[in-house]
Amino acid sequence: DKADIGVTGLAVMGRNLARNLARNGQRVAVHNRHRERTDDLVERFGGEGEFVPTGSLRELVESLERPRRVVIMVKAGPATDAVIDELVPMLDTGDVLVDAGNANFTDTRRREAALAERGVHFVGTGVSGGEEGALHGPSIMPGGSAEAYRELEPVLRSIAANVDGTPCVTHVGADGAGHFVKMVHNGIEYADMQLIAETYDLLRKVLGREPGEIAETFRRFNTGRLNSYLIEITAEVLGHVDARTSRPFVDVVLDQAEQKGTGRWTVQNALELASPVTGIAEAVFARSISGQPRLREAAADLPGPSEQPRIDDPEGFVADVERALYASKIVAYAQGFDQIQAGSATYGWNIDLGAVATIWRGGCIIRAEFLDRIRAAYDQNPGLASLLADEDFRAALTEAQDSWRRVVATATAAGVPVPGISTALAYYDTVRARRLPAALIQGQRDYFGAHTYRRTDAEGVFHTEWAADRSEHEA
């Protein structure tokens, strides 16, 4: 009997994806470069469904029903290329190769184009939700051709997370669109985590609360509009007590945040697209600063504020912080969706932003009630210029903005860094400003480089003779 689908790469993600497939009735051929992982999977979880262990890629390919469907779940980068290069000569026209790793979307575009020439469908697919998601239902973001998606759709729907009867999977767009959207998802995840971390820092340093108390505050936040997986796990982590020292876990962990690269890719691409994802950029840089002990050691003696701000109403401050977090989150997500919009236009993907919000409601790390609101915003107006312009978000920002300003002011007065919250507020004030000092920058550019400017009151491009008589003429 032939297998329905193959999975190669059986580390945590691949193993759990293979189990998810088998539990949903697929006969799954499995393969890993080092055989032990394959045997281990079948030995420990063989009872969960039908697995066909194979010892080589050739054996894997030969075990599959046609058109063949092979999922690659190996380390992103050269390892993925190595597996593709070995697999492709064994495949036939119409076969479908799915890369479910965290590939850079530019690699996916290159691979898709190369394989399309050989008649093989290549579907770069974002998978979010970590190992638990892979097992119980991830959010799945496939790119590639519509034809290939039709081939995969039923099985992807069966293994994806499900919210209110809707599976968290959609055909995002052609070639690298899926991996692009997964990249921005991770960027937004960075921004969201940074905002939550700043909120914790404020409650700790301004109000002097203990991690256990702050865990309770996050538990309460989680019953309201901030309800989300990230807030939920934040409360869990803050409430955790280290067994070795009986101290709060968060106090014994080295405060140097690591990263695997998708946040950096998001910002690199945003620079290419001139898409201002300031929240994601601050989050990536905040992790970078945390990971520079030499810099932090050298700066550790610099003075903070000479006096601390007085907080007369601590519960009022907590309420302000909740509003600041919510408003900042709206901005961070608005920026991320804008980047997807910009990528879609630049790379020709025609991405449905409402559909992206829909598949992020479950399975993935940023899953939250909030995504339902984003979906509703795009449902109501698919051509929305920014989520900030949506009526409901506008109302939330209007209600939050005074609190937001107080939080940034208090943080600044107390010397507590809030790069994420303050950049979000700066973005808000920038985009809503009727006049920006960009006019002055145009003047400076024209002064030193004759770069020209446009006027508010006349068509055309102008230059002023700064070094001579300062007369203006059309350039």
Q: Does 188 bind ligand NBP (CB under 6 A)?
A: no
How many helices (H) and strands (E) the chain has is answered by 20, 11
d(Cα 369, Cα 222) in Å, to the nearest integer?
Answer: 10
* 175 close to 301: Cβ distance less than 8 angstroms: no
Give the binding range for ligand NBP (CB under 6 A) out of 109-117, 125-133, 320-328, 413-421: 125-133
Binding ligand NBP by CB under 6 A: which of 9, 144, 167, 419? 9
Q: Can you read off the two tokens belonging to residue 308?
A: 């601390």
Q: How many angstroms separate the Cα of 457 from the Cα of each of 35, 171, 364, 369, 470?
A: 72, 46, 49, 46, 19
Q: In whole angstroms, how close is the CB of 263 to ligand NBP at the nearest point?
A: 13
Contact pick of 3, 5, 7, 10 for ligand NBP (by CB under 6 A): 10
Query: Tell me, what DSSP letter sits at residue 174?
Result: S
Helix, strand, or coil (residue 152): helix
Q: Does residue number 130 form part of the binding site for ligand NBP (CB under 6 A)?
A: yes
Say how far apart CA 309 and CA 316 lie, in whole Å.
14
When binding is defined by CB under 6 A, the residue of 2, 44, 66, 75 that contacts ligand NBP is: 75
* CB-nearer residue toward ligand NBP: 11 or 433: 11
Q: CA-CA distance, 195 to 329, in Å (whole number)? A: 7
Q: At closest approach, how far in Å is the CB of 267 from ligand NBP?
A: 18
Q: Which residues are catalytic?
A: 182, 189
Contact 228, 222 (CB under 8 A): yes
35 known member of a binding site: no
Q: If binding is defined by CB under 6 A, does position 434 make contact with ligand NBP? A: no
Is 129 labelled as part of a ligand binding site? yes
Of 27-35, 241-249, 292-300, 321-329: span binding ligand NBP (CB under 6 A): 27-35
Q: Which of 1, 34, 246, 258 binds ligand NBP (CB under 6 A)?
A: 34
162 annotated ligand binder:
no
What is the C-alpha separation between 423 and 402, in angstroms, rounded?
A: 16
The angle at the Cα of 474, spanning 473 to 475, to the nearest 5 degrees, equals 110
> Which tokens hold the place of 234?
């934040």
Task: Confirm or deny that 171 is annotated as ligand binding.
Answer: no
Residue of 19, 27, 37, 109 interacting with ligand NBP (CB under 6 A): 37
Q: 131 or 392, CB closer to ligand NBP?
A: 131
Q: Which residues pair with 72 in a beta bridge?
A: 8, 99
Q: Does 82 bind ligand NBP (CB under 6 A)?
A: yes
Q: Which amino acids are annotated as binding site, given as ranges?
A: 102, 128-130, 185-186, 190, 260, 287, 445, 451
Residues found near ligand NBP in the complex (CB under 6 A):
9-14, 32-34, 37, 73-76, 79, 82-83, 101-102, 127-128, 130-131
